[in-house]
Amino acid sequence: MRIAAVIVLFHPNESLVLSNISRFIDDIDLLIVYRNSKETICFPEEYAKKIREEGSGENEYIAGPLNKCIEYCLKEGYDYLLTMDQDSQWTDFSSFLKEATLLKEPDTVIYAPNVNYLYSTEKAEQEVESTITSGSLCNVGLVKQLGGFREEYQIYWVDGEFCYWARENGYKIKVLTNYHLSQFFGKEARTIGGFLCANYSPIVYYFMFRNMIWMCREHGSVTGLKCICYTSLFYIRGIVLGEKDKTKKLGMILKGCINGLFGKFNKRMK
């Protein structure tokens, strides 16, 4: 088994990134550091033999870099690719990897950790509808066979869309509930009244709402009215009560909804 990992960096906090990488680098064969912004990180000498740097420093979002890494892993003979976010921190990656590689089920395309303790540990393995990109151990061959990640989605719902597509084609997404990953979303803060706000950039809100509607158009009930209403309430309330650039962000949400409802996009072919 050859295991590669990719971490996509965008205006990273160097000390935090190095701390997060230290939690898993000893257990993998290669780490691809994909730069979506100009900053560089000075890696310790002991990491050098495992690190391959990619990316021009321009923001390529998520889907494109992941597909490039899948292609590289296929070419170089890596079996699995661990996809990581710069704000994610493992507690027990070594044990997670051992269990996942022992299972190695031919119909499971992603093994994922219990992110932010979302799942009960009553069952050690749990088949789920979807998981986030960060912490996902992806079967390289199966991801390629399924057509990779949707680059039209750019950043938001890239993970959810791929998971639903994989399940529609008979593959499984499994969470190993005894192993944990802490993940921060945006720059979370509390608003007036104690509500959460994410403080995402306007372009992220655009993709979030456009892609959510695209998901509904392509995959049906998986992103139905309940999901759309909850997402709208949560993020719009946070913008209005606690975020800066309210007008611009709300305008991008409106634009995303219009393009999601009426814009053309290419559906996947089974």
Are 43 and 144 in the same domain?
yes
Are 72 and 165 in the same domain?
yes
pLDDT at 197: 83
Task: Give the number of other CB atoms < 10 A from CB of residue 54.
Answer: 15
pLDDT tens-digit series, residues 207-249: 999 999 998 888 876 656 777 888 888 899 989 988 899 999 9
For residue 270, being part of any structural domain is answered with: no
For residue 143, being part of any structural domain is answered with: yes
**Domain of residue 118, CATH code:** 3.90.550.10
pTM of the model as a whole: 0.91
Are 151 and 241 in the same domain?
no
pLDDT at 260: 93
Are 162 and 134 in the same domain?
yes
Cβ neighbourhood burial of 182 (10 Å; 0-12, 13-18, 19+): middle
Are 136 and 215 in the same domain?
no
| Contact in structure between 104 and 110 (CB atoms under 8 Å) | no
Of 183, 199, 215, which residue is a domain's last? 183
For residue 243, being part of any structural domain is answered with: yes
Are 60 and 91 in the same domain?
yes
Are 57 and 137 in the same domain?
yes
pLDDT at position 98 over 70: yes
pLDDT at 104: 87
Dist CA 107 CA 228 (whole Å): 30
pLDDT at 226: 75
pLDDT at 54: 95
For residue 132, being part of any structural domain is answered with: yes
Cβ neighbourhood burial of 221 (10 Å; 0-12, 13-18, 19+): exposed
Are 176 and 71 in the same domain?
yes
Highest mean predicted confidence (pLDDT) among 43-47, 142-146, 231-235: 142-146
Give the count of domains, the chain.
Answer: 2
Are 166 and 43 in the same domain?
yes
For residue 268, being part of any structural domain is answered with: no
| Mean pLDDT of the 254-270 span | 88
pLDDT at 224: 64
For residue 269, being part of any structural domain is answered with: no
pLDDT at 194: 77
Of 166, 183, 200, which residue is a domain's last? 183
For residue 123, being part of any structural domain is answered with: yes
pLDDT at 222: 62
| Mean pLDDT of the 35-50 span | 91
Assign 270 a pLDDT band (cuts: 50, 70, 90). low
Q: Which domain holds residue 197?
A: 189-262
Are 217 and 243 in the same domain?
yes
pLDDT at position 56 over 70: yes
pLDDT tens-digit series, residues 146-205: 999 999 999 889 999 999 999 999 999 999 999 999 987 666 677 777 787 888 999 999
What is the chain's mean pLDDT, rounded?
91
Please give the share of the chain, as a percent, with pLDDT higher than 90.
73
For residue 113, being part of any structural domain is answered with: yes
Are 148 and 251 in the same domain?
no
Q: How far is CA 108 from CA 105, 111, 174, 219, in A?
A: 5, 7, 7, 20
Are 76 and 194 in the same domain?
no
Dist CA 245 CA 199 (whole Å): 10
Of 149, 183, 217, which residue is a domain's last? 183
